[in-house]
Each structure stands twice: as structure tokens, then as C-alpha cells.
Amino acid sequence: MSIQIHPIKAFTDNYIWTLINKNNKQAIVIDPGQSAPVVAYMQEHGLDLTSIWTTHHHYDHVGGVMELQEYFPMTHIVAHSEHGVEEDQTIKDGSTVSAWGCSAQIWDISGHTATHMAYILDVDGHKHCFCGDTLFSAGCGRVFTGTIEQLYDSFKRLNELPADTLLYPAHEYTANNLRFGLTIEPDNAAMQEALAQAEEKMAAGVPTLPVTLAHERAVNVFLRIKEPSVIAGVEAKANVDSDKPLAVFAALRELKDNF
């Protein structure tokens, strides 16, 4: 099965990830916070929207769902019961959903919100993880209705995926996150290179996403909390029990909140 994955830009920095089956001209969108960019893309490329998947309830991720249902009445809505939409398929941790015969496993990756889901799509043996606002390239989501403990556990879980897993966060926050990371690990060469590449891509209007998990392990301080360089960087800025990874993670999130 050949599935093309394309980001539709929305608001100022959202990406509505779109799965496209070129054989039958059907499409699935993930977290459509706005309807207009999706409708325009479907019309431009002659696509029929058949399904919407949501990761969490925030308006910039579900705000376009109802209008898209009006444009495409047969659209199948896949969501958690707390996502604030009228879903056709209710998901929770351990559920599965299909994209033209390819299976996506649902993982609970709460923390940013209390009911944040990820879709881990397997296409020809290669994993694509749509992680919403839990993990960003070089960063992580703020804690709103979830807890820092949930977010920490979600990062540990995502870090168990294969290194070549492609991650599809829902926002273009990469450069800002890398700038923060360099305040913690100023000598991280991979981070320095990633920032230069991100700034070049942004200047050209090119998304910095998706990224591999292997890449994130090198540049994302929230995945590097056991590294001595990260612990030292956090200790220089905050009082933290560095023997406890959760404490380092929580201190990083607080530092990022004030960055």
C-alpha cells in the first residue's frame, strides 16, 4: 500500500497531517483545527475526505470537524469520547483504526491533556506516529488538563518505538525548541546543526517535520534527561533532585514555560 503523507498548514503554525491514497483519491486528515485549508486542498487535488482522526480536544485540533462533515457528509470520525466531537468510532488506549488496510494502533500519550491519543500507523513495516501536542521536535507540550507525571510516562513510552519511526507533531515549534535546548546543552553539536537546518527550512517555507525518533534522541532534551550534560544544564538553572529523572523532566518543562 502506498500512502502519501502531506501537511496542510493551518492557523500560524499548525499542521493538519493528511493521509492520501492516490489509487482511489481518498484522504484522511488528523486534527483539523480549521476546515477551509482542508477543503481547499481536497478540491485542488480532487480528493474525497473519508475520515478524520483526532488526538485531543483543543480547538486548534478539532475546530474544523463539524464544517468538514458538512462538506463531506460520509466522513468517518475517529476520536476519544472526551475530544468534544460526535465520533463514529470511539478510541482508547489499545484501540486500532484502519487506513485502507493499513493498521494504526492507538496509544494513550496523555500529559498535555488528560485524554491525548497517538496514532501509530504501520505502512509496509515502517511506523508513522502522529503525536499531536505531546512530543514536538526538540520539545514537548505544555501540561494543561493532564499531569507532568503522565507526560513523563508518555515520553518514556514513545521512546520505546523503533529508532526509524517517523514522528509527526502538530505544530512548527522546532526552531524555538532547539533554541531552548541549547540553553541547557550549549555544546550539543547535533542540536546546533538541527537549528541551522530548521531556520533554513522555515525561511524557505518548508516544514521541519516529520523527524525520526533517532533524531529526537539526539536533539530533544526531554528525551535526554539522563544525560550528564542535560542534568548539569538543568542544575545550573533550577534546584532539582537529579537522581530522579521525573524531577529533571519537570524542571525542564518549567524552564521551557518561562523561556
Per residue in 207-258, pLDDT (tens digit) is 999 999 999 999 999 999 999 999 999 999 999 987 799 999 999 999 999 9
- Judge whether 98 and 78 are in contact, CB under 8 Å: no
- Joined grid coordinates for residue 176: 524555538
SS3 94: coil
Nearest-CA neighbor of 1 among 101, 97, 121, 126?
A: 101
Superfamily of the domain at 3-257 = Ribonuclease Z/Hydroxyacylglutathione hydrolase-like (3.60.15.10)
Split at pLDDT 50, 70, 90, the class of 22 is: very high
What's the mean per-residue pLDDT of the chain?
A: 97
What's the predicted TM-score (pTM) here? 0.97
Cell readout for 168 is 509527526
Q: What is the CA radius of gyration of the chain?
A: 18
HEC per residue, 156-217: HHHCCCCCCCEEEECECCHHHHHHHHHHHCCCCHHHHHHHHHHHHHHHCCCCCCCEEHHHHH
What is the predicted pLDDT for the residue at 1? 64
Mean pLDDT over 34-59 rounds to 98
- Count the Cβ atoms, other than its own, within 10 Å of residue 67: 15
Beta-carbon contacts of residue 202 (< 8 Å; ≥ 6 apart): 172, 175, 208
Task: Answer whether residue 2 shows pLDDT above 90.
Answer: no
